[in-house]
Amino acid sequence: MGILVPGAGVIGLTARPKAGVVLIGTGGTIAGRGASPVNTSAYDCSVLSIDDILADLPAAASIADISAEQLFQSGSENFGSAQLLQLGKRISSLLKRDDVDGVVVTHGTDTIDETAYFLHLTLKSAKPVVVVGAMRPPSALSSDGPLNLYNAIVVAASPLAHGKGTLVVANDEIHTARDVVKTSTFKQEAFRSPYGPLGYIVEGKPVFYRLPARPHTVESEWSIDEIDVLPEIGIVYAHGGMNDSMVRAMLDSGVKALIYAATGNGNVATSVVASLVDARARGIHVVRGSRTGGGMVIRNAAQPDDHYDWLVTDDQVPHKARILMMLALTGEHNARTLQNAFLTY
């Protein structure tokens, strides 16, 4: 046997090489720049390249063998189906390489939870994929970007992250893509999961305390390699005194399904019921969600879903229910099958 020397591996044995991690830059606040160090909310977004960002983080080289590429340079509010498909297919091709142990995506925080959930459901690999952003640009005092990125690389390089699906790392926390939601416009602790994070990064090491409970990646029924088109899904946000004009406008826009972000437990105002019933008559699926941001929408509780042939989101927030519905409609259109997707994933 070899001799163990602290910090030097085992003498006489070949040291394990560092993990290979690919960074994909897509823009966002983590690539932004403000006019002064106190510009934490007002700044130019997506002006730094992934190489610029990495050059200011030399400590990352000690974690992994890192390569980087720029795929997009845009705020994530501009991400649509084309960007989701392109990003997913690029990551899928990277994960098939023997020299790639994990992938990190730098991303704007506006839709980071949507992109991460899409990847969580479509990438067929147990290798870790970590999506990371920042609430403050690198030019700001106390920017969270450098440490967030360092921690993301730590997680992507760790064997402990294998099999846990796509993860979002922010503010020293590790979140599953299924649960995480952005909850603040400016706070560094903007990202929350209703059931808590999976774990934390402590002193540069990932520590996990729970696992994702719902199927993902290799257990998912969707594969990014088999998807070339995503159907259009709309969201209508309910409010007091609502009429059906916005619903009918959405139905006329060509959507294949409508997520109704209802009040409370998926409550639908009487003034809107007829338009949603009409949606199903026109072959457009209706999914009752909740604008509250938490809790379950229970089938046949606030509305007779069986009678109207409507669906419910279970506990998923409306904008992520949209991602799931897009994927579900790439296959079976049967309402029972679609409802099962919400109860399964």
- Comma-separated ranges of CATH 3.40.50.1170 domains in the chain: 3-219
Q: What is the CATH number of domain 232-344?
A: 3.40.50.40
- pLDDT tens, position by position, 4-33: 333 333 344 445 589 999 999 999 999 988
- pLDDT tens, position by position, 233-247: 999 999 999 999 999
- With a CB cutoff of 8 Å and minimum separation 6, the contacts of 101 are 19, 20, 21, 64, 127, 128, 156, 157
Helices assigned H by DSSP within 123-219: 145-156
Active site residue 109: yes
As averages over each run of 10 residues, the pLDDT of the chain (345 residues) reads 37 66 96 81 85 94 96 95 98 98 97 98 98 92 94 98 98 98 95 97 97 98 98 97 94 96 96 97 97 95 96 98 98 92 97
Give the C-alpha separation, 279 to 310, whole Å.
10
- What pLDDT shows up at residue 1? 34
Spot the catalytic one: 106, 109, 111, 217.
109
Give the C-alpha separation, 32 to 46, whole Å.
5
Spot the catalytic one: 26, 29, 40, 106.
29
Active site residue 29: yes
pTM: 0.93
- What pLDDT shows up at residue 15? 52
- Comma-separated ranges of CATH 3.40.50.40 domains in the chain: 232-344
**Following CA atoms 126, 343, 336, 267 in sequence, which dihedral angle do they give, to the nearest 10 degrees?**
-140
Give the fold, CATH level 3, of 3-219. Rossmann fold (3.40.50)
- pLDDT tens, position by position, 151-183: 999 999 999 999 999 999 999 999 999 999 999
C-alpha to C-alpha distances, 317 to 114, 197, 208, 237, 263, nearest whole angstrom: 10, 17, 24, 12, 12
In single-letter form, the type of residue at position 188 comes to: Q
